[in-house]
Chains A and B, each alone.
Chain A
Amino acid sequence: MEKHLVLLRDGRTLIGYLRSIDQFANLVLHQTVERIHVGKKYGDIPRGIFVVRGENVVLLGEIDLEKESDTQLQQVSIEEILEVQRVEQQAKQESDKLKVQALKERGLSIPRADTLDEY
């Protein structure tokens, strides 16, 4: 039984046992955890069974258990990783804001990510 890692379109990373797949890459994942990576830390949030609609799958790969064990990443608790993630997101938001501001001053604008998503 190999674990599989799935990268979703919204950037989430799921790890679980792949139970079923079809031609659209619709997936059924079992004993899934959502893994959050921030820097060198990561945290797993247990999620259970996931049914993923294929269009949301960016990447699906088997996890090599041997390679997984000698990773340099450090596992931390859920609370901690969520906190770190929050901090990171905040920083990113700030920098984005600054970027938009700077672009605006130059008379440019970048489309927001969510508007891009619709096409």
Chain B
Amino acid sequence: MMSQVKLTDFALGQGWPNMLKSLEDCPLDEDEEAFQTLAEEDDDIDQFNDDTFGAGAVDDDWQEAHERLAELEEKPTSSGEQEDQTVTDEMDLLGDHEENLAERLSKLVIDNELEDPAIMQAVQTRPLVQQSGGLNSSIWDGPSVLRRITGPLLTQEVPSVSVLEYALPQRTPQAREEEERDVSERALPRRSSSPVIGSPPVRAVPIGTPPKQPTMPNFNQQILCPKPVHIRVPIQQRYPSPFSDSMSPNQLCNVTNSSLLGHPFPPSITPVLTHLQRAQLLGGAQAGRMSPSQFARISGLVSNPLASMDPKLLQGRGGQMMPPAGGFRAFFGAQPPPVPPPQHHPSPCPGAHLQNLRPQPQMFRPDTTHLHPQHRRLLHQRQQQNRNQHRSLNGSAGDRGSHRNSHQERIRKDPYANLMLQREKDWVSKIQMMQLQSTDPYLDDFYYQNYFQKLEKMSAAEEMHGDGPRKERTKLITPQVAKLEHAYKPVQFEGSLGKLTVSSVNNPRKMIDAVVTLRGEEDETKEKQVRDKRRQTLFTIEKTYSLLLDVEDYERRYLLSLEGDRLALMEERKQKICDICDNLRGKMPNQERLSDDPFVQIMCIRKGKRLVARILPFLSTEQAADILMATARNLPFLIKKDAQDEVLPCLLRPFSLILYHLPLGTVASILQQLMNLPQSATVSASTNLHLTAVLQNKFGLSLLFLVLSRGEEVQSADSTSELAQDNQWTELMFMATRELLRIPQSVLAKPVTTPSNLVSLFSRYVDRQKLNVLETKLQLIQGIR
């Protein structure tokens, strides 16, 4: 028997091709279909008769049909004798011939094995691999075990053949046993294929159809669905459900029936096992895709009768030991019969089967790599605790700490503990983790990523200072998945009219078919001209902001990109920066002369000012100087507009950074602009309104100081500069100083910063007395600050 178990294991590896074969090999399937059509036809005839002759005119019709059915059954099928044997087998299965049953089992196994192409191939292609963790062969080892478990089941089942019993398809002890074994490990069909929640009815058999067990495929669904109401013939056989991507139920069925379990029944009779076994065999790999509602329907409900059982058995997980009968009854709302715990059975090695029935921890260990480390540790601890409990329960090797004991006791006191199986929990957590999967965490989870960056920086700084051991920071590692772009192609049949409407989570049905029409550039500009200027400015600011954010992103993208792409990225970035600049200056594509107006408009809006401050570091020196000039040129106006916001000072820092990259000539012209002097520096009128306004403003004065300080620095450092430039600067300097002296103390603004070299700077241009006045003036300003 052991070798048979192994056979299944590698037959599993065969996959689709075999499955297709085994689909074809399934004779009963076709037979069944023929039968179904016949039954339907009969019903049709019934209907016709009733219509023609009135209801009840033809009474004996049903019996005729029944006879026909019986004939059909007796017809030899393609698999011949074997089929017959199973039929008879099933007839007297409820009797007590387990001995010869087991005998026949083994005989049949050999036959089936040799017939099944999947197995034959498997034998040739793959070596034996023992990984039957989930399949415990010990149960199947001999008739003694068989009897032990099926015995009590049968005795309590047989006498109580109720309506329910009648409705349920007859199952063999084996089938029952398998289910019992599988209750906890089973994987049920996908929700969509569940009969209760509405898979499309394939063929509905009317109420009152006599049960035709032998030919009815004994599917799980039917067990779950009370028969008298509505029967849906499962569709898996004809159309492999999307779920069965690794293996068709049929094939698995064939394989498991014949080789593993030594089952005497033809494939189509016992596909009850398919899902269960598949889950077992695949080691829960698909558990994540199953809905817990499926578990709930069996294991969850099953755990109810469990409560009446030995509490020890209840320990880890409910529902493992459950005989199916109890479970189904619970489902149908009937009281479960008291089931003697298997422990009380006289068996050669008590607890052996218990051990086998226990979930194999290594098989269903969930993938925890995506969890928060702390969470994972907790989880691990808990798992360990659970395992220890199991061990101590089984009486082997268990040091019972007091804590563990109390924990155990608490669980024992709590009959509702672990209503959810570990698997269900994993399933839920997996779904929750799915939300965290992202192709671009920076984009999807910006705040967390930034927060963590900040934390890391902080801890790095701490480490630099070397104080104390480094605190362990926990980080949620979100699983990253590659971006999958897949366009949905609706199914289309040739020559069909219209489209098939298939909607799913990924392709929801379109409720509105809105067409995006791109308006021409011309339209837009026309419209914009109609709108007021301010709105247009706001629009420009928004547009520029988006560009800015893009540009800011390039640094990150650059680091992530491959070597080859970097040049292109740089180019792109440069282009974007140019666009930003053009936006700021309001430059039209074919416009030579720039007017300051668009820029001033932008600078009149608070957001625009902040935008400019943010953009400046990205601009080239020339572009930045241009901005600076424009600002200087229009400063009085801007100052007037800034009276409420007072955000202009935020521009000081970027401006000062730019100034340090500018040559003397540019600095001089900026100063010129600040003082509103024509390019040819002629001495202006005694009152310079422009400069006065600048001096009276915090930002203006600060900027002026910055410019003066920078200019002086450049001039003194660079003695080789042209004479003309030198002269120009000196002249400007004189004028600025004069203006500073002239302006009364009371109206002079408080600058944000005063360059340290300012006083010494003035000393070159004014005499001692005036310098003192200036000094006190400026220091006073600082004192007030």
Interface residues of A (CB under 8 A from B): 1, 17, 19-23, 28, 30
Q: Which of B292, B414, B416, B417 is A22 in contact with, Cβ under 8 Å?
A: B292
A contact residues around B416 at 8 Å (CB): 17, 19, 30
Q: Name the distance in Å between B389's Cβ and chain A's nearest Cβ.
A: 13
Contact in complex: B411, A21 (CB < 8 Å):
no
B396 on interface, CB distance cutoff 8 Å = no
B contact residues around A17 at 8 Å (CB): 414, 416
Contact in complex: A19, B420 (CB < 8 Å):
yes
Complex-state Cα separation, A72 to B586, whole angstroms: 63
Known: A21-B428, A23-B432. A1 touches B410 (CB 8 A): yes
Complex-state Cα separation, A20 to B428, whole angstroms: 10
Complex-state Cα separation, A30 to B420, whole angstroms: 13
Q: Which of A19, A22, A23 is B419 in contact with, Cβ under 8 Å?
A: A19
B contact residues around A21 at 8 Å (CB): 420, 428
Could you show 22 A-B contacts with beta carbons less than 8 Å apart? A1-B410, A1-B411, A1-B414, A1-B417, A17-B414, A17-B416, A19-B416, A19-B419, A19-B420, A20-B419, A20-B420, A20-B424, A21-B420, A21-B428, A22-B292, A22-B428, A23-B427, A23-B428, A23-B431, A23-B432, A28-B419, A30-B416
Q: Which 9 A-B pairs have the closest CB atoms?
A: A23-B431, A19-B419, A20-B420, A20-B419, A1-B410, A23-B428, A21-B428, A30-B416, A1-B414
B contact residues around A28 at 8 Å (CB): 419
Interface residues of B (CB under 8 A from A): 292, 410-411, 414, 416-417, 419-420, 424, 427-428, 431-432
B contact residues around A30 at 8 Å (CB): 416
Complex-state Cα separation, A20 to B425, whole angstroms: 9
A contact residues around B411 at 8 Å (CB): 1
A contact residues around B427 at 8 Å (CB): 23
Grouping DSSP codes into helix (H, G, I), strand (E, B) and loop, the B interface class, with mixed when no group exceeds half, is helix
Complex-state Cα separation, A60 to B210, whole angstroms: 52
Complex-state Cα separation, A25 to B428, whole angstroms: 9
A contact residues around B292 at 8 Å (CB): 22
- The chain A residue sitting closest to B434, CB to CB, is A23
- The chain B residue sitting closest to A49, CB to CB, is B416
A contact residues around B417 at 8 Å (CB): 1
Complex-state Cα separation, A21 to B430, whole angstroms: 13
Complex-state Cα separation, A104 to B411, whole angstroms: 59
- The chain A residue sitting closest to B413, CB to CB, is A1
Complex-state Cα separation, A23 to B435, whole angstroms: 11
Complex-state Cα separation, A23 to B427, whole angstroms: 8
A contact residues around B420 at 8 Å (CB): 19-21
- The chain B residue sitting closest to A19, CB to CB, is B419
Complex-state Cα separation, A19 to B425, whole angstroms: 11
- The chain B residue sitting closest to A21, CB to CB, is B428
Complex-state Cα separation, A22 to B294, whole angstroms: 12
Complex-state Cα separation, A115 to B355, whole angstroms: 59
- The chain B residue sitting closest to A28, CB to CB, is B419
A contact residues around B428 at 8 Å (CB): 21-23
Complex-state Cα separation, A105 to B419, whole angstroms: 57
- The chain A residue sitting closest to B420, CB to CB, is A20
Complex-state Cα separation, A28 to B424, whole angstroms: 14
B contact residues around A1 at 8 Å (CB): 410-411, 414, 417
Complex-state Cα separation, A1 to B410, whole angstroms: 7
- The chain B residue sitting closest to A18, CB to CB, is B420
- The chain A residue sitting closest to B431, CB to CB, is A23
Q: Name the distance in Å between A9's Cβ and chain B's nearest Cβ.
A: 19
B contact residues around A23 at 8 Å (CB): 427-428, 431-432
Knowing that A20-B424, A22-B428 are A-B contacts, what are 20 other residue pairs whose CB atoms are under 8 Å apart, sorted by A's residue number? A1-B410, A1-B411, A1-B414, A1-B417, A17-B414, A17-B416, A19-B416, A19-B419, A19-B420, A20-B419, A20-B420, A21-B420, A21-B428, A22-B292, A23-B427, A23-B428, A23-B431, A23-B432, A28-B419, A30-B416
Complex-state Cα separation, A21 to B431, whole angstroms: 12
B contact residues around A20 at 8 Å (CB): 419-420, 424
Q: Name the distance in Å between B155's Cβ and chain A's nearest Cβ.
A: 35
Complex-state Cα separation, A28 to B414, whole angstroms: 15
Q: Name the distance in Å between B436's Cβ and chain A's nearest Cβ.
A: 13
Q: Name the distance in Å between B317's Cβ and chain A's nearest Cβ.
A: 14
Complex-state Cα separation, A15 to B712, whole angstroms: 72
Q: Name the distance in Å between A18's Cβ and chain B's nearest Cβ.
A: 9
Complex-state Cα separation, A21 to B292, whole angstroms: 10
Complex-state Cα separation, A20 to B296, whole angstroms: 11
Complex-state Cα separation, A23 to B424, whole angstroms: 10
